[in-house]
Amino acid sequence: MFKFLKDKLKDAAKKFSKEAEEVTEEPKVEEKVKEEVKEEIKEELEEVLDEKTSEKVAEEVVKESKEEIIEDIPKEEPKKEKLSFKEKLKKAVSKKISSKKFEELFDELELSLLEANVAVEVIDRLKEGLKMEIVDIPIKGKVDEFILEKLKDNIKELFKEELDLVEVIKKSEKPYVIVFLGVNGSGKTTSIAKVAKLLQSNGLTCVLAAADTFRAAAIDQLQLHADKLGVKMIKHDYGSDAAAVGFDAIKHAKNKDVDVVLIDTAGRMHSNSNLMDELKKVIRVVNPNFKIFVGESIVGNDCIEQSRKFSSSVGVDGIILSKADVDEKGGTAISISYVVDKPIIYLGTGQGYGDIEKFSVSKLMDSLGL
């Protein structure tokens, strides 16, 4: 999962590391370090020698960079562990990436990010963030580790606060109504079955609403899941009013004291205005607590574009990113939440009922090697 993006980020960090320049103020730093070391040596010598001699010897030691001279001077106490002159100097020298180098290196990283399905606006956001934290900043230690750390910080900031839907449902009044929406084949019906199973394992009851009255066999497909899971499904005929199915399912839930209503809807392209109007009607009639956009991780920028359109026309409260198990790229996962400005709730990680993972930013960072 997301290996492509992981490899590209690691490669970029290596390239930044290779291109980082040593900071040019080295002579100035060297003078400062020399002065410090001289003072330290002088202080130590004064314990056994007079001030003038100590000063002279200290000066000589630093000038010649000959630390062995002080080895011969008798000590009253064992010398505290100190860094050698060379070690201090090494510590004082840092690396940096100039603005020009950054632009060059980021151009290359940008291509990799595009290839990994990262949205353009996310790339712009990352560039701004990284620029501020990397350009002309003295880097101590390993440059590639520094770069990966900065990538991690900036990618983390793309996400909303995590949302535990099951906990939200538990705290809400019943029935809690959720509508699943998205384009054709994105995984809505499968996700409903997975969520139903998840709710069951958390001690919550649910009813399914077969409000995809549009696609042939959609009702039978959901019925199959309902039967396997042992949950009630409310249906009307094919071609009937989708909003009415949702309405009836809510009525059923209220009568039977069911905790959650999961409403399946027909897949639709945002460009199909008839079907978008129908979806608006469903939402108006059932007035859901939560609208989940189900998007396919693998389709990349199309998925981002669809989520943006659904969000602006009917509103989206959270995202299920399906088929993450077959997505090697990973860019959709780091982009969609930022674009829609809503949290990813779950990742779909397979076709089985148990293949649903509560989304966690730190887990995502792990899979990106950050």
Chain residues in the site for ligand GTP (CB under 6 A)? 182, 184-190, 212, 215, 218, 267, 322-323, 325-326, 348-351, 355
Q: Which does 54 bind (CB under 5 to 8 A by kind): ligand GTP, Mg ion, none?
A: none
> Nearer to Mg ion by C-beta: 105 or 261?
261
Please state the closest distance from residue 345 (CB atom) to Mg ion, in A: 18
Instruction: Reduce the DSSP state of residue 113 to 3 states and report it.
Output: helix
> Nearer to ligand GTP by C-beta: 41 or 211?
211
Closest residue to Mg ion, judged by C-beta, is 189
> Nearer to Mg ion by C-beta: 83 or 217?
217
Q: Which does 322 bind (CB under 5 to 8 A by kind): ligand GTP, Mg ion, none?
A: ligand GTP
Question: What secondary structure does DSSP assign to 262-327, as a single string?
Answer: EEEE----TT-HHHHHHHHHHHHHH--SEEEEEEEGGGTHHHHHHHHHHHHHT--SEEEEETGGG-
- CA 8/CA 303 separation, integer angstroms: 21
Q: Which does 362 bind (CB under 5 to 8 A by kind): ligand GTP, Mg ion, none?
A: none
Pairing of strands 260-265, 356-358: unpaired
Please state the closest distance from residue 274 (CB atom) to Mg ion, in A: 18
Q: Which of 105, 97, 100 is nearest to 138 (CA)?
A: 97
- CA 66/CA 58 separation, integer angstroms: 10
> Nearer to ligand GTP by C-beta: 118 or 324?
324
Instruction: Reduce the DSSP state of residue 183 to 3 states and report it.
Output: coil
Please state the closest distance from residue 149 (CB atom) to Mg ion, in A: 42
* 189 binds Mg ion, rule: CB under 5 A: yes
Tokens (6 digits) for 63: 């000038």
The one-letter amino acid code at 279 reads: L
> Nearer to ligand GTP by C-beta: 11 or 357?
357
> Nearer to ligand GTP by C-beta: 311 or 322?
322
Q: Is the peptide bond before 288 cis (omega within 30 degrees of 0)?
A: no
Please state the closest distance from residue 160 (CB atom) to ligand GTP, in A: 21
Residue 259 near residue 206, CB atoms below 8 Å? yes
Closest residue to ligand GTP, judged by C-beta, is 267
Please state the closest distance from residue 81 (CB atom) to ligand GTP, in A: 56
Instruction: Give alpha helix (H) positions in the chain.
Output: 3-19, 26-45, 51-64, 68-71, 85-92, 99-115, 120-134, 143-156, 165-171, 188-201, 218-229, 242-256, 273-286, 301-313, 331-340, 361-367
Question: Within 13 Å and on the Cβ side, how many CA atoms surround 236?
Answer: 16
> Nearer to Mg ion by C-beta: 189 or 349?
189
> Nearer to ligand GTP by C-beta: 89 or 229?
229
Please state the closest distance from residue 347 (CB atom) to ligand GTP, in A: 8
Please state the closest distance from residue 340 (CB atom) to Mg ion, in A: 21
Please state the closest distance from residue 136 (CB atom) to Mg ion, in A: 53
Please state the closest distance from residue 176 (CB atom) to ligand GTP, in A: 21
| Candidate segments 95-103, 128-136, 180-188, 248-256, binder of Mg ion by CB under 5 A | 180-188
- CA 96/CA 147 separation, integer angstroms: 11
| Candidate segments 188-196, 290-298, 313-321, 338-346, binder of Mg ion by CB under 5 A | 188-196
> Nearer to ligand GTP by C-beta: 109 or 206?
206
Q: Which does 350 bind (CB under 5 to 8 A by kind): ligand GTP, Mg ion, none?
A: ligand GTP
Residue 196 near residue 225, CB atoms below 8 Å? yes
Residues that bind Mg ion (CB under 5 A): 188-189
